[in-house]
Chain A
Amino acid sequence: MMMGKILRVNLTTKQITEQPYPEVLARQFMGGAAAAIKLLYDEVDPRVDALGSDNKLIVSMGFLAGTSAPATSRVAFVAKSPLSGTVGYSNSGGFFPNELRAAGVQAVIVEGKAETPVYLWISDNRAEIRDAKDYWGLNTIDTQFYMQQSLHDGNIRIACIGPAGERLVKYASIINERRAAGRKGLGAVMGAKNLKAIAVRGSQEVPPAVDPAAFKEAVKNLHAAMKDSPVLYQRFRNFGTAGNVELTVKQGDMPALNFQDAAGEEYLAIGAQVGTTYRVRHFACDQCPVLAAQVRAVSSGPYAGYATEGPEFESLYSLGSDMGIADMGACIAMDRLCDELGLDTVSFGATVAMAMELYERGILKPVDVDGLDLKFGNHEAAVAVLRKVAFREGVGDLLAEGARLAAQRIGGDAPKYAMHVKGLEFPGYDPRGLMSMGLNYMTTFTGADHSRGHSEQEVFGIPVPQAVDRFAIEGKAALTIFNQDVGAAVKDSSMLCTFVARLALLPKNLGATLIADFWRAAQGYNVTPEEVVRVGERMTNVARAWNIRAGFTRADDTLPDRLLMEPLKTGASQGHRISPEDRDFMLNEYYSLRGWDARGVPTLERLKSLGLETLAADLSRL
């Protein structure tokens, strides 16, 4: 088997143990995030305090990490989310994942809590818990620099937290190199464990595939599909994800002003075409020929001197249009500061956008926001709040809780303006013009998440499995399930880069077929593409069952009232909303097709068909 070992690290007892990768995780869940979520299900009580010592942080790579397959240096971080209370899953790329795999490790389970700040040092045949007092307080960039210096090796790869994670900001990120496992607040889980960083150095080859010739053929076919894409090496490399600004402005579904309306053409000022004028260079994750990351720098104006790897589309929405900011320099500066201080750009921007609306409506007074003029478009105030959030100073301490909790604490009408699902703030697609995306936000196990079940058909017009009318509700349940399960199998289990999956494989519906080819060749399993998709369905059901045990119900599978009741006012999606009746129609059909009952609980029959009957026993005890 190609899978590496599992390292179990208990920070309370300071014990580190190794175990072989369980066959059931490799065969039923493929590895990656799917296996990590099963480990969470098996080992973490859903009712634990996410910031307590009983939560666990699971770091997991797919079976393709470290191999010759391109665009697979990706890692899943999984824990109970302190922001939402749901399964928390975020992933990242860069060099850290392949380095950890080269150290012989497939997954790390971090348990307990250290008495004082520590970091985990993993090299080829050694893992140890080390004192991190020399790094506590440093930002993510300096942490990595000084750790490499102290360990006398610039090729050590480090995943770490910044001041925001140390202070348990509910949407603190984990940063490796300049990449972010940004969402769900998993940086706060590290901070709560007094775990500043995981540093790795490896030199081992991944064990050979069971059928090396077939594996080589699959690599060749993946490269061919990537080369065949009319978009991947041309347009995507040139524009990166920022190209979505132009697209979503045209579609009228880029949110503006805390979802009060769609972003208009004034926000093309933070789009890809303007972005190219700031670009200094391209950058790529390990073993990726696409070079899609855009390093952008500001050379004049108040933000001169700031540079960042990004901002990606989601950050241009959250740091830009959602806060009414159409200034690329400000977006670059805030993107950089969020990464340095260890904050999720999306939740930060969305939470401050809510605060801006509350301020403009008089619900928050100047005295409540430390005297800042927190109106929409005021990027100087947004930058000031960013630092306050990271260090939990003044109003930053309130906004560090995320939109849902902050609004609850403010009280009155404030919760009406908190734009989230299950506590996770929205990414950059207004679902009022995208019905499947809306259903996906309602049902994805992490809340309003664009990285699970993204509606490629509605947003990008990819006609697979078929072209769709994005305003129609008919057929959207089946489409959403296709996107969630195929996406989970192809991107969250094998951990292939989402852009390769989306741009090179989905247009030809090749994802499950190619992953099945890789899986057969690597592990020797006699699997079909249908079995690959079932891995995605298993992951969805395991996460759903865990969330139900955590207390989530059908009532949580909904959208904020604004999206249900207020149609978009302008743009190409003008007049559209997802009414409560639309929501119920799609949700009923979705549950039925999933084999879940009317409460959204997976049935014994469906769980049995997935080999997950033990979950039914857990659910029947509720």
Chain B
Amino acid sequence: MATVTVRTMFELAQIVGRPSVLLTMEPGATVETTLKALQSAYGGLQGRLFDPATGGLLSYLFIELNGRDIRSLKGLETPVAEGDALSVMMPVAGGSGSDDNGP
């Protein structure tokens, strides 16, 4: 068994009720099975992680495992292990657009 911390933000955190939760995963768990376990535990997440039409991850989600973009690892197939932290992030913008203080 592996205990994985899952961190979320914005409306995902509101649905979950807090910024991070602990999930206990079976051996052999991956990023995908962890996200599906999260979705099962919090029904309000249906349609907010995976695209209902394609089944793939929603394009604007940015997911890091221990600070590393899962696409630089093995994507959704990346294994998770005891003590891992999975961050499900929703980038909005970045910085100020002027050099500056305003967009």
Contacts of A273 in B (CB 8 A): 10
Q: B69 contacts the other chain (Cβ, under 8 Å)?
A: yes
B99 touches A241 (CB 8 A): no
Contact of B102 among A180, A460, A503 (CB under 8 A): A180
Q: Can you list, as one digit per residue, whether each of A70-96 has a CB less than 8 Å from chain B (1) or not (0)?
A: 000000000000000000011111100
Bound together, the chains give a CA A314 to CA B101 distance in angstroms of: 7
State the CA gap A344–B101 with chains docked (Å).
7
- Contact across chains for B92 and A236 when beta carbons are under 8 A apart: yes
B69 touches A467 (CB 8 A): yes
A183 partner, pick from B67, B68, B90, B99, beta carbons under 8 A: B99
A315 at the interface (CB under 8 A from B): yes
Q: Is the CB of B99 within 8 A of A456?
A: no
Q: A247-B9, A251-B87 are in contact. Are A292 and B95 (CB under 8 A)?
A: no
Contact call A292/B19, Cβ cutoff below 8 A: no
Stretch at the interface among B21-29, B32-40, B42-50, B57-65: B57-65
- A433–B100 CB distance below 8 A: no
| Interface size class, chain B | 20 to 34
Contact yes or no, A499 B97, CB < 8 A: yes
- Decide if A122 is an interface residue (CB 8 Å cutoff): no
A-side contacts of B73, CB under 8 Å = 469
Closest chain B residue to A312, Cβ basis: B96
> Which of B62, B69, B95 has a CB less than 8 Å from the CB of A244?
B95
Residues on B with C-beta less than 8 A from A450 are 95-96
Which residues does chain A contribute within 8 Å of B95, judged by CB atoms?
Answer: 241, 244, 312-314, 427-429, 450-451, 454, 498
B92 touches A247 (CB 8 A): yes
Q: Across the two chains, which residue of chain A brings its CB closest to B68?
A: A469
Q: Cβ of A61 < 8 Å from any Cβ of B?
A: no
With A469-B72, A470-B68, A470-B69 as given contacts, are A241 and B98 in contact (CB-CB < 8 Å)? no
A473 within 8 A of B: no
Report how far A196 CA is from B63 CA in the complex, Å.
48
Q: Which of B85, B89, B97 contacts A461 (CB 8 A)?
A: B89
A293: B residues at CB distance < 8 A:
102-103
Contact A460 B91 (CB under 8 A): yes
Q: Which 7 residue pairs spanning A and B have beta carbons closest together?
A: A243-B92, A461-B62, A467-B71, A312-B96, A182-B100, A183-B99, A460-B91
Q: List 14 A-B contacts (CB under 8 A).
A: A241-B103, A244-B91, A246-B9, A247-B62, A250-B87, A250-B89, A292-B93, A449-B99, A450-B96, A451-B95, A467-B72, A471-B67, A472-B72, A572-B85
